[in-house]
Amino acid sequence: MDNDAQRKKVVLTCVQPTGKLHLGNYLGAVKNWIAYQESCECYFGIVDMHAITIPYVPADLRKNVYSLAAQYMACGIDPSKCNMFVQSNVVGHADLAWILGCICPLGQLERMTQYKDKARKHANNLCSGLLYYPVLMAADILIYNADIVPVGEDQKQHIEITRDLAQKFNRTYSDTFVLPEPYIPKTGARIMSLQSPDSKMSKSDPNQNGTIYITDDADTLRKKIMSAVTDSDTAVRYDEANKPGISNLMNIMSSLGGMGISDIEDSFAGKNYGEFKKAVADVVVEALSPVRERYDALVADKDALNKVLSDGAAAAQRRADRIMSKVRRKVGFVDTRAK
């Protein structure tokens, strides 16, 4: 068996430390990452360098890094089976971003959908970091030569530019980078806002009653579920077009409780929305209460979190160094450092 067949696939995914994970993050992303731990070499990055492209409070950034690490672990990310690290703790991300930026056409960055969106939102504070963001993201991926990058649909364009830059580097300097493949889950329900069920659940929802966070306490979870927008009908029936609120609650119940949609319809035939919402709340509380309890214990032990992130960064640095030594040599940099 050749080395390529023997080696584990490398999985890399990164998230900004910008607050709490919500139910959509948990069901749509983190649960999929957990499965990769068993068969792949996994790197889970907390990308604090990306988080400074818009106004922020440094103390909050530091706090959010620890919080996100604790949330990952509370959800089932196991540091003994993966490498969890903070982006700024691994030397090379910014170095590779500069090298890739020197072969990246400016027009390609200006056409990025997310740049256009952020430029509109931050018109009064538009920094070059927002424009350069996709190049740093490409460096985040290529510095580990990742095979698989789990992303949301809105990040697909960033993977495309990463592949473009990898191909351009390989053509210019010889084969160096693996072309990463995006993993976008094809199955699983989209979790929508409880208050605006036509929109995806989001931490930026102006009505926070529409967003279920994995660290919400039981009372908060119940209040949010019971106040969820429904419709003037009375039947618990799945119909995303005409009954988006009820359909969203059914998706949540199915995803967390394991019941099929048709089973939920049968179980609540003839029952009112109040009874149904109470049952959904019971399922959500039962599923998320253990997560919150684990999170509370983990986030209180800063020394343990530092150890996890330090060990993860050391492993990430070893892999990054192997890639960057090749990159530096191929682009013509001279290394005069003492060996």
Cα–Cα distance, 34 to 29 (Å, whole number): 9
Strand-pair partners of 82: none
Q: Which residues are catalytic?
A: 118, 200, 203
CA dihedral over 146, 152, 158, 161, signed as positive or negative: positive
Q: Cβ atoms within 10 A of the Cβ of 285, count?
A: 19
Strands 181-183 and 10-15: unpaired
Please report, to the nearest 10 degrees, the dihedral formed by the alpha carbons of residues 249, 252, 257, 262 taken in order. 60
Which ranges constitute the DSSP H helices of the chain? 3-6, 23-25, 31-36, 58-75, 93-101, 106-110, 113-121, 128-142, 156-173, 218-226, 244-257, 261-267, 273-299, 302-331
Cα–Cα distance, 87 to 34 (Å, whole number): 20
CA dihedral over 83, 87, 89, 90, signed as positive or negative: positive
Cα–Cα distance, 169 to 162 (Å, whole number): 11
